């Protein structure tokens, strides 16, 4: 018997465990993955947290080496709560649960300070100074207020796991929660777990926090809810996020809420192999699409690559690729934009699906054997694009520069440059699914709500199992931040 059980050892679950322990509770964390095969979705993330701040210098409370000098630093003077909410609301069609979103935004800064101090998570500066002395986001073309866990998702979860274990929390790896029972007549829960040897064990607790992620790793479930073709999507993260915790909540009468046919899905290298590769982590994501063009296997463009900052388009880009013939596309760049690529593009391992040539003609010759139907169509697409670029507008990768094309279907509305300076590059991409948007309804205390909108006693949910926060699309960094804010609150509530 223990005070609090947390199911899932990702960012949200570990934040909840740390918070509950800090509040004086005895805590057990059940993690389905074995310790030697650990890899939550947080582990496979880029470690990016969106955060509101009134003054840029406030971030010194989170980042030890914050950049405090550089031309253009005033552009990052603030990212207040209204900015955060507007960006989050805008990309979700304002369908999001406003009460929860406002709670997350209002508490984002303090929660990340707590994560930094109590969770020992080291954050790095979201702003760097380039070779020209100009301050800019560390990811070219990105937008919003951020901090980033040092070492990305790997660094984030390593720090949290260490802090949680050091606080006296019992983390049990290889313990998969498979059923729940109410403890009658007492309060609390009995959690039935399956161990690696196939045996079962019962863990009893006064309060239960479910933080086991969405259902993206279950091909049958995601095809049923997301639609035809989603069984073919690459799973970016944990193989254990099959929705079992979500099903346990629904079976206990939790209200299903949110965009069940929606998900976070990115352009993902076709060379990524199977899901859950700890050695690869985040390196197969391809999010620099605003600075090139994307063509399908017919050799045709199929979206506006410059519709918005990459922070607001990358998570819906994968869905667009999934609808193309063969669920495949190529991102095309020339040498001019190479310095703008995110670091993930620079890995040269054999699986990176990177093609390079000194001419567009030679590039086409290398793409065609990989599934491109027509070399001539591809070359015409690039030529038509080059001819349509507005030569009168200036290119600026750090703002919406309105350097567009004219007369194409679709046009590219920002960051259009002719593709004419060799060498030329093609990155072969498919759809990589990150997490699903459907989940259960909670209140601002992370208490799970039933169909009468009443809290289910002693039951909490945090992380990707929470629904109603994302519809259609996703603003980068909101997921990890929401996980910490609600996880911290769930821990405090459960401990009380």
Hey, how many other C-beta atoms are within 10 angstroms of the C-beta on 426? 25
Domain ranges in the chain? 2-261+437-495, 264-432
Question: Is the pLDDT confidence value at 350 over 60?
Answer: no
Does the domain at 2-261+437-495 match CATH 3.50.50.60? Answer given as yes
Give the pLDDT confidence of 393-442 residue by residue, as tens digits. Answer: 999 998 999 999 999 999 999 999 999 999 999 999 999 999 999 999 99
Question: Is the pLDDT confidence value at 365 over 90?
Answer: yes
Residue 222 CA to residue 28 CA, distance in Å, equals: 30
Average pLDDT, the chain: 94
In the structure, what pLDDT confidence band is assigned to residue 475 with cuts at 50, 70 and 90?
very high
Could you check whether 2-261+437-495 and 264-432 share the same CATH topology?
no
Q: SS3 for 436?
A: strand
Residue 398 CA to residue 88 CA, distance in Å, equals: 20
Written as six digits, the tokens of 375 are 């070399």
Whether 49 contacts 484, CB under 8 Å: yes
Tokens 């701040």, residue located: 53
Give the pLDDT confidence of 72-112 residue by residue, as tens digits. Answer: 888 889 999 999 999 999 999 999 999 999 999 999 999 99
Written as six digits, the tokens of 369 are 């054997």
In the structure, what pLDDT confidence band is assigned to residue 272 with cuts at 50, 70 and 90?
confident
Asked which of 272-286, 354-368, 460-474 is least confident by mean pLDDT, the reply is 272-286
In the structure, what pLDDT confidence band is assigned to residue 280 with cuts at 50, 70 and 90?
low
Question: Is the pLDDT confidence value at 141 over 90?
Answer: no
In the structure, what pLDDT confidence band is assigned to residue 348 with cuts at 50, 70 and 90?
low
pLDDT at 166: 97
**Percentage of residues in the chain having pLDDT higher than 70:** 98
pLDDT at 352: 64
Residue 142 CA to residue 415 CA, distance in Å, equals: 13
Q: What average pLDDT score do residues 346-361 get? A: 81
In the structure, what pLDDT confidence band is assigned to residue 351 with cuts at 50, 70 and 90?
low
Written as six digits, the tokens of 415 are 């960051």
pLDDT at 317: 95
DSSP summary character for residue 228: T
Task: Return the CATH number of 264-432, one of 3.40.50.920, 1.10.150.120, 3.90.700.10, 3.40.640.10.
Answer: 3.90.700.10
Give the pLDDT confidence of 177-195 residue by residue, as tens digits. Answer: 999 999 877 789 999 999 9
Question: Is the pLDDT confidence value at 238 over 70?
Answer: yes
Question: Is the pLDDT confidence value at 328 over 70?
Answer: yes
**Percentage of residues in the chain having pLDDT higher than 90:** 85
pTM across the whole model: 0.95
In the structure, what pLDDT confidence band is assigned to residue 200 with cuts at 50, 70 and 90?
very high
Strand pairing class (424-436; 27-31): unpaired
DSSP 134-184: BEEESSTT--S-EEEETTHHHHHHHHHHHHHHHTT-EEEET-EEEEEEE-S
């Amino acid at each position: 018997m223990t005070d609090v059980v947390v199911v899932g050892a990702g960012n949200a679950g570990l934040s909840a465990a740390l918070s509950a322990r800090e509040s004086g509770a005895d805590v057990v964390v059940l993690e389905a993955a074995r310790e030697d095969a650990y890899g939550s979705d947080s582990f496979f993330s880029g470690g990016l947290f969106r955060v509101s701040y009134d003054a840029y210098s406030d971030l010194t409370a989170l980042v030890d080496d914050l950049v405090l000098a550089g031309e253009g630093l005033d552009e990052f003077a603030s990212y207040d709560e209204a900015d955060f909410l507007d960006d989050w609301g805008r990309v979700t069609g304002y369908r999001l649960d406003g009460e929860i979103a406002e709670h997350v935004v209002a508490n984002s800064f303090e929660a990340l300070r707590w994560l930094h101090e109590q969770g020992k998570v080291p954050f790095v500066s979201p702003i760097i100074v380039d070779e020209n002395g100009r301050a800019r986001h560390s990811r070219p073309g990105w937008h919003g207020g951020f901090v980033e866990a040092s070492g990305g998702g790997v660094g984030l979860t390593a720090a949290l796991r260490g802090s949680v274990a050091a606080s006296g929390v019992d983390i049990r790896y290889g313990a998969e929660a498979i059923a729940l029972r109410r403890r009658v007549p007492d309060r609390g829960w009995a959690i039935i777990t399956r161990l690696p040897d196939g045996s079962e064990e019962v863990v009893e607790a006064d309060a239960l926090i479910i933080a086991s992620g969405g259902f993206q790793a279950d091909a049958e479930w995601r095809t049923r809810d997301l639609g035809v073709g989603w069984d073919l999507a690459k799973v970016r993260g944990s193989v254990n996020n099959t929705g079992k915790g979500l099903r346990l909540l629904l079976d206990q009468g939790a209200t299903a809420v949110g965009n069940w046919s929606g998900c976070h899905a990115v352009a993902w290298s076709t060379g990524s192999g199977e899901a859950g590769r700890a050695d690869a982590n985040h390196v197969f994501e391809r999010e620099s699409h605003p600075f090139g063009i994307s063509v399908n296997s017919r050799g045709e463009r199929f979206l506006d690559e410059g519709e918005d900052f990459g922070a607001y388009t990358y998570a819906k880009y994968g869905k667009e690729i999934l609808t193309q013939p063969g669920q495949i596309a190529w991102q095309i760049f020339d040498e001019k934009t190479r310095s703008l690529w995110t670091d993930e593009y620079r890995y040269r391992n054999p699986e990176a699906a990177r093609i390079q040539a000194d001419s567009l003609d030679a590039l086409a010759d290398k793409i065609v054997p990989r599934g491109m139907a027509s070399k001539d169509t591809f070359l015409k697409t690039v030529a038509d694009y080059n001819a349509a670029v507005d030569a009168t507008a200036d290119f600026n990768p750090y703002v919406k520069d309105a350097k567009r094309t004219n007369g194409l279907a679709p046009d590219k509305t920002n960051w259009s440059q002719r593709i004419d300076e060799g060498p030329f590059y093609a990155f072969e991409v498919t759809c990589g699914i990150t997490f699903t948007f459907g989940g259960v309804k909670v209140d601002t205390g992370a208490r799970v709500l039933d169909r009468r909108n009443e809290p289910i006693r002693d039951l909490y949910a945090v992380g990707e199992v929470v629904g109603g926060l994302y519809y259609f699309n996703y603003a980068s960094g909101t997921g990890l931040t929401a996980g910490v804010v609600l996880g911290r609150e769930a821990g405090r509530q459960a401990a009380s």
